[in-house]
Amino acid sequence: MRELKIGFLQQHNVADIENNIERLAEGITDLAQRGAELVILQELHNSLYFCQTEDVNKFDLAETIPGPSTGFYGELANELGIVIVTSLFEKRAPGLYHNTAVVIEKDGSIAGKYRKMHIPDDPAYYEKFYFTPGDLGFHPIDTSVGHLGVLICWDQWYPEAARLMALQGADMLIYPTAIGYESSDTDEEKQRQCEAWTTVMRGHAVANGLPVIAVNRVGHEPDPSEQTNGIQFWGSSFVAGPQGEILYRASDDKEERVIVNIDLDHSENVRRWWPFLRDRRIDEYGKITKRFID
Residue positions annotated with a catalytic role: 43, 116, 153
The span from the CA of 113 to the CA of 98, in Å, is: 11
CB 110 within 8 A of CB 66: yes
The span from the CA of 169 to the CA of 267, in Å, is: 11
The span from the CA of 74 to the CA of 90, in Å, is: 16
Cα separation values, 134 from 114, 141, 169, 175, Å = 8, 15, 21, 15
> Residue 213 forms beta bridges with which residues?
174, 239
Element (H, E) at 102: strand 96-104
Phi, psi (degrees; rounded to nearest 5) at 83: -95, 135
Nearest to 270 by CA among 211, 213, 200: 211
CB 104 within 8 A of CB 81: no
The span from the CA of 80 to the CA of 34, in Å, is: 11
CB 90 within 8 A of CB 55: no
The span from the CA of 195 to the CA of 207, in Å, is: 18
Count of CB atoms within 10 A of residue 81's CB? 12
The span from the CA of 17 to the CA of 21, in Å, is: 6
